[in-house]
Amino acid sequence: MKALFLGLMLAALPAFGEHQETSLAPIALYIRFQQEPPLAVAEALQDEVNSIMAPMGLRFTWRALAGVSGSEVSVELAVITFKGTCDVAGLSPHSSNPGPLGWTHLSHGVILPFAEVDCQGIRGFIQKKLLTMPAADREEAYGRALGRVLAHELYHIFANTTRHNSCGVGKSKYTVQELLSPEFQFEERESLALKTSNTHAALEWAAR
What does the binding site for Zn ion look like in residue numbers (CB under 5 A)? 6
Residue among 6 and 49 whose Cβ is closer to Zn ion: 6
Whole-angstrom distance, CA of residue 19 vs CA of residue 55: 18
Minimum CB separation of residue 150 from Zn ion in Å reads: 12
CA dihedral 18, 23, 25, 29 (to 10 degrees): 150
Residue among 6 and 194 whose Cβ is closer to Zn ion: 6
Strand partners, 199: none
Intra-chain end-to-end CA distance of the chain, in Å: 36
Residue among 82 and 174 whose Cβ is closer to Zn ion: 174
Asked whether the beta carbons of 79 and 30 are under 8 A apart, the reply is yes
Helical ranges in 54-197 per DSSP H: 119-130, 135-159, 176-180, 188-195
Residue among 105 and 138 whose Cβ is closer to Zn ion: 105
Minimum CB separation of residue 131 from Zn ion in Å reads: 28
Residue among 102 and 124 whose Cβ is closer to Zn ion: 102
Whole-angstrom distance, CA of residue 154 vs CA of residue 100: 15
Give the DSSP H/E element, type plus range, for residue 188. helix 188-195
Minimum CB separation of residue 35 from Zn ion in Å reads: 24
Minimum CB separation of residue 89 from Zn ion in Å reads: 29
Which residues lie below 8 Å from residue 39, measured CB to CB, with a gap of 6+?
A: none
DSSP-derived 3-state class of residue 150: helix
Q: Which residue is nearest to Zn ion (CB)?
A: 6
